[in-house]
Amino acid sequence: MTGLFISFEGIDGAGKSSHIEALAQAFRDAGRSVTLTREPGGTPLAEKLRQLLLHDAMDPLTEALLVFAARRDHMVQVIEPALARAEVVVSDRFTDATFAYQGAGRGFDWNKLQILERMAQTGCALEPDFMREPDLTIWFDLPAAVAAQRLATARVPDRFEAQPQEFFAAVAAGYARRCEEAPQRFARIDAHQPREAVWQQVAQVLQQRGYLQQASGAAA
């Protein structure tokens, strides 16, 4: 048995977070040990950086550097050790979010983000030149207008959630670009569906890829 790394992605309001615990429980029910985590965050240092990112004004380069600093610590302290123990790591966001939010949303240079990605995500695993990426990225695709409606009734927004609809449309386009660049890793989920229908899509992806034999009903 080997480790498995799954990331959940999508714009704010896409509803991905409501299915993460259900997926983790489905793996536990199948006898797997699960590390459930999030980005930015996942370690004491990364959680401190998360608070800065969500609430303090800064330019796109500073945002990107802080995100990758948090990610590096997260990988070294949490993700790689869990994968080495053959656990399933399920993360609420990973690097695709940086390309979508800081790249497409903020307009930061895509090529420079790729350089930072290579720097931060290489050298954590046993193979010194291996760049860690998720084995599977589940992308909750939702129209920006629908996400804006959902966020309007949510808690007090952070500085990302408070962005205009146009920002989230750009972020969604960034996710679509990442999906086009790595179609073998991505699984697109139509998030503009009832909760159970969304979960059935997630379960089907896991079954088709052979990661779980049965995951239906876990989100009920």
Q: Which residues pair with 136 in a beta bridge?
A: 6
The pLDDT-based confidence of 161 (bands split at 50, 70, 90) is confident
Q: Is 174 annotated as a binding residue?
A: no
| 17 annotated to bind ligand | yes
Q: Helix crossing, 165-181 with 144-152: angle to 10°? A: 130
Is 6 known as a binding-site position? no
Q: Is 210 annotated as a binding residue?
A: no
Whether 151 shows a pLDDT value over 80: the answer reads no
Does 14 carry a binding-site annotation?
A: yes
Residue 148 makes CB contacts below 8 A (sequence gap 6+) with 13, 165, 168
Annotated binding residue at 73? no
**What DSSP element (H or E) covers 8?**
strand 4-9
Q: How far is CA 57 from CA 12, 129, 158, 180, in A?
A: 19, 35, 11, 31
pLDDT tens, residue by residue, 39-50: 999 999 999 999
- Confirm or deny that 13 is annotated as ligand binding: yes
92 belongs to an annotated ligand binding site: no
What pLDDT shows up at residue 220? 43
- pLDDT at residue 147 greater than cutoff 80: no
Q: Which amino acid is at 33?
A: S
